[in-house]
Structure 1
Amino acid sequence: MLENPMVAGLGYEETYASPVGRCKECKDLVFQGYEGVIFEDEVFCSTSCLEDHLKKVGVIREI
């Protein structure tokens, strides 16, 4: 008979995602597969953080 390892006290293997870096703009951890983007070898957690960074450095501006 097979027993549930959690109930039997045998435990189970937990898997955690490893961060790929920190966002250049907001400094949050960035995980692969969760909206992160790389622009010119810099890691950003989202396109909105990338946009904010590009506005700050003057690459783009609002009209």
Structure 2
Amino acid sequence: MSETRILRCLINKAGGNSGAGSKTYRTTLPATWIKELGVTEADRELELTFDGEKIVIKKVK
């Protein structure tokens, strides 16, 4: 399966004990992709790898 989507990144001020000006970055992933990875509420651990140019998301087995 190969599919590309353009998604927005949500940017929020970080709370709690974060330093001044800290931000949190999030994006949502399509449910069909998550289901295809085999992510469930009981088994939802993911491995993310960043090489300076792209982020790869894998299901932890």
TM over 0.5: no
Between Structure 1 and Structure 2, the one with more helix by share is: 1
| TM-score, scaled relative to structure 1 | 0.23
TM-score of the pair, normalised by structure 2: 0.24
Larger fraction in strand: 2
For the pair shown, which has the larger CA radius of gyration, 1 or 2?
Answer: 1
